[in-house]
């Protein structure tokens, strides 16, 4: 099957529409009250590999629904006016998601260059995925 546009093309286009942040620069934003790290990975990836401490988990498949105030799935964290740093494992989903949020009109969106893999490689801290019991407390 021949595609009009493959994943490499989609990612290249998204990179032109979005802004990245290096792992080093992102580490300096950890703990900043005006920054939210948004983990786009599947819950199984979080359970297996951990996540950036304090990150908000927004599965990639739900992101647009969680961002849109007109959606029944809307999450207020996306309307707080904070800088959003989106990340996945290698930054493919992150860059696509950042470009999509830019198209939706969300401001201050960055994608973590190299994703969580680069974060770990550069010694960024990681935490276990919070359990559902932790969220209820």
pLDDT digits (tens, 9 = 90+) for 21-75: 999 999 999 999 999 999 999 999 999 999 999 999 999 999 999 999 999 999 9
Asked whether the predicted pLDDT for residue 11 surpasses 70, the reply is: yes
Q: Say what the pLDDT of residue 136 is.
A: 41
Q: What percent of the chain has pLDDT over 70?
A: 96
Q: Where are the domains of the chain?
A: 16-124
Q: What pTM was estimated for this model as a whole?
A: 0.93
**Which position has the token pair 């802004």?**
19
Q: Say what the pLDDT of residue 29 is.
A: 97
Segment 106-129 mean pLDDT? 96
Instruction: For the sheet with 19-21, list strands across it.
Output: 19-21, 109-112, 83-87, 35-39, 56-57
Which CATH code is given to the segment(s) 16-124?
3.40.250.10
Q: Say what the pLDDT of residue 133 is.
A: 55
Q: How far apart are CA 71 and CA 57, in angstroms?
A: 18
Q: Say what the pLDDT of residue 132 is.
A: 63
């Amino acid at each position: 099957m021949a595609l009009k546009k493959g994943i490499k093309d989609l990612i290249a286009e998204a990179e032109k529409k979005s802004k990245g942040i290096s792992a080093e620069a992102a580490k300096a934003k950890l703990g900043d009250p005006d920054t939210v790290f948004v983990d786009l990975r599947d819950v199984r990836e979080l359970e297996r590999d951990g996540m950036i401490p304090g990150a908000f988990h927004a599965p990639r498949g739900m992101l647009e629904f969680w961002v849109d105030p007109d959606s029944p799935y809307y999450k207020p964290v996306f309307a707080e006016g904070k800088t959003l740093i989106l990340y996945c494992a290698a930054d493919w989903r992150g860059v696509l998601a950042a470009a999509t949020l830019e198209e939706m009109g969300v401001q201050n969106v960055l994608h973590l260059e190299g994703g969580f893999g680069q974060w770990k490689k550069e010694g960024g801290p990681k935490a276990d995925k919070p359990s559902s019991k932790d969220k209820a407390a």
